[in-house]
């Protein structure tokens, strides 16, 4: 199966989206009050992820503009946030035991996100 974005209902009459491969969620969003805002978030990821920088916060790297941030959790694992130019987190991943897996998630969104279908449940 191809990579895809899924828009789904969330609690409180809100909406969220995820970027997945098969049934595995790679990135997921926060909740949005309107479905149109979730769709706009997806379009922003499709447009901005391919050229976004990757910064490793564990190495003290910083960035501005659209970017992927690799974050080390308290237990030594890693997760990724995709951050908009205004500093707001748009989507994040699960925690991974290896930083290489976190980087693979970034590469997946950068290369497969722009052409991914959007399914509106």
Classify burial at 66, counting beta carbons within 10 Å of its beta carbon; exposed 0-12, middle 13-18, buried 19 or more: buried
H-type helices in the chain, by residue range? 35-48, 99-112
d(CA 67, CA 82): 6
pLDDT band, residue 121 (cuts 50/70/90): confident
What mean pLDDT comes out for the span 74-87? 94
Quote the pLDDT of residue 72: 93
What's the pLDDT tens digit per position in 24-52? 999 999 999 999 999 999 999 999 999 99
What's the pLDDT tens digit per position in 48-72? 999 999 999 999 999 999 999 999 9
Looking at the chain, the whole-number percentage of residues with pLDDT higher than 90 is 93
What mean pLDDT comes out for the span 73-83? 95
- 8 A C-beta contact, residue 78 and residue 63: no
What rounded mean pLDDT belongs to the chain? 95
Q: For the chain, list the domains and their CATH numbers.
A: 3-115 (2.30.29.80)
- For CA atoms 61, 49, 86, 70, the dihedral sign is negative
DSSP 60: T
pLDDT band, residue 1 (cuts 50/70/90): low
- pTM to 2 decimal places: 0.92
Whether the predicted pLDDT of 23 surpasses 90: no
Quote the pLDDT of residue 76: 92
């Amino acid at each position: 199966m191809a990579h895809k974005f899924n828009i789904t209902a969330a609690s409180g009459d809100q909406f969220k989206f995820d970027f997945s491969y098969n049934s595995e969620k790679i990135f997921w969003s926060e909740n949005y009050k309107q479905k149109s805002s979730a769709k706009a978030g997806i379009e922003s990821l499709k447009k901005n992820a391919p050229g976004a920088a990757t910064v490793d916060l564990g190495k003290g790297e910083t960035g501005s503009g659209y970017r992927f941030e690799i974050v080390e959790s308290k237990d030594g694992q890693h997760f990724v946030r995709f951050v908009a130019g205004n500093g707001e987190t748009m989507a994040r991943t699960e925690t991974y035991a290896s930083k290489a897996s976190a980087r693979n998630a970034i590469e997946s969104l950068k290369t497969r996100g722009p052409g991914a279908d959007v399914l509106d449940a």
